[in-house]
Structure 1
Amino acid sequence: MDRFHSPSAFFFYGLFAFLLLASLVARLLIRSGRVRGEMAGNLADRIRAWWVMIGVLALIFTLGAGAITLFFALCSMAALREFATITHTRRDDHDGLAIAFYVVLPLQYLLVYFEVPVFAALLIPVYCFLLLPVVTVLKGEVQGFLTRVSETQWALMVCVYCVSHIPAILTLDIPGYRYSAFTLVAWLILVVQASDVLQYVWGKALGRHLLAPRVSPSKTVEGLVGGVLSASALGVALAPFTPFAWWQAGLVALTVTTFGFLGGLIMSAIKRDRGVKDWGTLVQGHGGILDRLDSLVFSAPVFLHILAWGWL
């Protein structure tokens, strides 16, 4: 099927149409004076960043599975770097970090790309969990050992293992499903990212009750409920492009958006613990790569497992 006429391509056409509408509305709000000052600048930065990110994703999707896998491998490398900058690493930990960056990360994505699911599933949570502390302990520095080792393990799990589940979806061959797995990746990204945006919109519009003020002061109960339900409705509307019945699409969307919210909340807790607002500054208006991936970190493994257990 021509990639420019595939269902996943139409997902991106819809996203570009939505971004065009959002850009026009934002410009009208700024010109009318309803949004001004720092909020106006933040809104403009966010919309420009979304244009760039969606454009890059659309280009990557036209290039095939190899390009998508490489793209998320590079995202993992950038995210791992962001995570490592806020950890309590010492000079004695550099060998372990080098192994994480230059051995474990590329090996994980090679296992995904060449469809070796057993080793891809076990490499980081089993073998790296057991062997990376050995590299550190042989240096002989015991002060803060548990904290330092666990931070490296967490970094690999979050930034590499969980993110690698996104291109791993491309390896699935669902019986009777008439579209390619590219469409499922697009569906996941669209629904989860829409939930993030809609939680922000609903929170600004109706938010009254703070959900976890010490972790994320901007998250409200109303924003969470409105965003998750709205994004789940979007997942139902797109059910014809998935192997799900409409009610199954609703349940799956509700599940992945809920886990996406939890991922964002946990990543916010780590940032607060380290006293930083954003993971980085790579994406203007959005912080770092991890600030964009935080919801997908938790939702992608769950989505892959739902597909593997229920539809293969």
Structure 2
Amino acid sequence: MGLTLNETFLAVFCALAILSLVATGAGQWITTRTMDTMRRTRMAIVNSRVRSSWSVLALFTVAFVIGPNALLIVFALASFFALREFVSLTPIKPSDHWALVVAFYFVIPAQYLLLFFGRANLFTVFIPVYVFLLMPVVMAVKRDQELYLQRVAKVQWGLMISVYCISHAPAIATLPIRGYEGRGALLLLFFLLILFVTDLLQVIASNFFGGAALEVSPNKTRNGVLAGGSAGILIGTALGGLTPFLWWQALLMSGLIVVSGYLGTVVLSLVKRSLGAKVWDSNLVLTRGVLERFDALTFAAPVFWQVT
């Protein structure tokens, strides 16, 4: 007899908790044993990524225990803070005030309410069609023509990345897959595992194999990205039992998650740089914003949802 949903999640949670505990201990031990300043800094970055995995694991566990609606609340809050961070990087004029009010207090709740009520037909077109047409009208009411197109485009980009793309993550748990009813949370767990584990492995592999740092992500190297991405695909294939996929389908879907996630990291890094901010993780800075924590997810979630 197969495991129930709760039993499967408990088994996966215990395995992840043990791995995270081992990684935390090993990272701290290596840091204390290393004398090279650059290596210590890189290990500190690895340790910060491991701590981030603990927070993600804790949030997902709480949401899983409370119920599927809690997932919507968690990701709705993530969208709110991601959009706030995006807006903080974007030059905003007083005439844009009402456009931001609409974005924060109408668009975000409406997008997640559509998901809550299972209106997938509207969920997929609400922001890219209706809000895309609404925001220019709202911003035109003030009759401020200065840099009008740039201001509208930045707000629309912020909504697409911070709300539309991120909202596809909890939507994965609602996919109506025949023979997989009631187990959507495991599919979301599979998706998040591949995404965040691959990111961690790429940082670790970059530290281990070395090489020239990538311009868009200075704490990663080309060798590290290839090695960590390959490991992420293999892990995803091994975890195929959590999904409705056959082993070769799990392999392809894992590759899709890894590649689209990396492209999201590259694009969001360039977007933030174009807004005048420093490159994420520049000078090996350990702190990361909300957008950077979800950069891979912004591309991978809608792609995975559509393909599945």
**Cα distance 1:39–1:248, how it changes in 2: closer, same or farther (>3 A)?**
closer
Cα RMSD (Å): 2.2
Share of identical aligned residues, percent? Answer: 36
1:217 aligns with 2:234: no
- The aligned amino acid for 1:157 is M
Partner residue in 2 for 1:142: 145
Partners in 1 of 2:202 and 2:45 — Cα distance?
Answer: 17
State the 1:227 CA deviation.
Answer: 1.5
1:53 aligns with 2:56: yes
State the 1:42 CA deviation.
Answer: 4.3
Partners in 1 of 2:55 and 2:180 — Cα distance?
Answer: 31
Partners in 2 of 1:123 and 1:141 — Cα distance?
Answer: 26
- Asked if structure 1 preserves the Cα contact closer than 8 Å seen for 2:46 and 2:203, the reply is no
Partner residue in 2 for 1:67: 70
Paired residues for 1:181-260 under 5 Å: 181-211=184-214, 213=215, 215-260=216-261
Partner residue in 1 for 2:115: 112
Partners in 2 of 1:186 and 1:35 — Cα distance?
Answer: 37
Partners in 1 of 2:289 and 2:235 — Cα distance?
Answer: 27
Partner residue in 2 for 1:310: none
Partners in 2 of 1:200 and 1:227 — Cα distance?
Answer: 8
Give the secondary-structure state (helix, strand or coil) at the position aligned to 1:171. coil
State the 1:287 CA deviation.
Answer: 1.3
Partners in 2 of 1:177 and 1:34 — Cα distance?
Answer: 51
- Asked if structure 2 preserves the Cα contact closer than 8 Å seen for 1:278 and 1:291, the reply is no
1:169 aligns with 2:187: no
- Asked if structure 2 preserves the Cα contact closer than 8 Å seen for 1:69 and 1:167, the reply is yes
Q: How many residues align?
A: 301
**Cα distance 1:13–1:278, how it changes in 2: closer, same or farther (>3 A)?**
farther
Partners in 2 of 1:29 and 1:68 — Cα distance?
Answer: 36
1:160 aligns with 2:163: yes
1:93 aligns with 2:96: yes
Partners in 1 of 2:46 and 2:212 — Cα distance?
Answer: 23
> Unpaired segments of 5 or more residues in structure 2?
none
> Unpaired segments of 5 or more residues in structure 1?
308-312
- The aligned amino acid for 1:217 is P
